[in-house]
Structure 1
Amino acid sequence: MAKRLIIEGRVQGVGYRATLANEAAALGLQGWVRNRSDGSVEAVVDGDAQAVDAIIAWARRGPPAAVVSKVAIEDTEPPPRGTFKITASH
């Protein structure tokens, strides 16, 4: 089950990407996360439904310094198989 997330709010410069990557890896998810030029964070997550639901719930909270105002979620194609990684900004 692959989902694309766009997370808005105070989510850059607060450890959001690194913490999301750690949480996703701990849940056994595959995919990637990156900053976007508009100040949001984008992630593609893939794995079993329960793990994807768990990372979506986490994304709505974020790390302690983050202030999440919105999480947009859409179905997407699964990312290449591998680990969860932080990619270059877009």
Structure 2
Amino acid sequence: MARQCVHGYVSGRVQGVRFRQSSAEQAQLWDLDGWVRNLDDGRVELLFEGEEGAVTLMRAWLEHGPQQAQVTGLELHEQPLQGVAGFIVRR
């Protein structure tokens, strides 16, 4: 399978509900590389890359996020591979 890279933003009730940490846990479960961070405007920004099937799983998970979250918007765009290694939570 081919590798894909996706960058995007998640909006709604996504800060203060373990969204970043849960995203990192899901990424590690599916062997994705990338990062996630909170933005000052209340959204969460993330970049993840990996095998096509894993990217598809992450896309689907981001539609709802962790149990406490309320996702109201999701903007995801494919982009060229970034070559990142591991998945980190940025502060």
TM-score by length of 1: 0.92
From the two aligned structures, give the one with the greater strand fraction: 2
**Percent of aligned positions with the same letter in both sequences?**
33
Look up the match of 2:58: 55
- Say whether residues 1:82 and 2:89 are aligned partners: no
TM-score by length of 2: 0.91
1:28-39 equivalences in 2 (<5 Å): 28-39=31-42
Whole-angstrom CA distance in 2 between matches of 1:71 and 1:20: 14
d(CA) in 2 for partners of 1:49, 1:82: 16
- Kindly indicate whether the alpha-carbon contact (under 8 Å) linking 1:30 and 1:79 is maintained by their aligned counterparts in 2: no
Deviation of 1:80 after TM superposition, in Å, equals: 3.8
Q: CA RMSD in A?
A: 1.0
Gaps in structure 2 of 5+ consecutive residues: none
Unaligned runs of 5+ in 1: none
Q: 1:6 aligns with which of 5, 9, 12?
A: 9
Alignment deviations for residues 30-89 of structure 1 (CA, whole Å, 9 cap, x no partner): 00000011100001000011100100100111111000001101122333431111012x
Which residue does 1:69 correspond to in 2? 72
Runs of 4+, deviation exceeding 6 Å: none
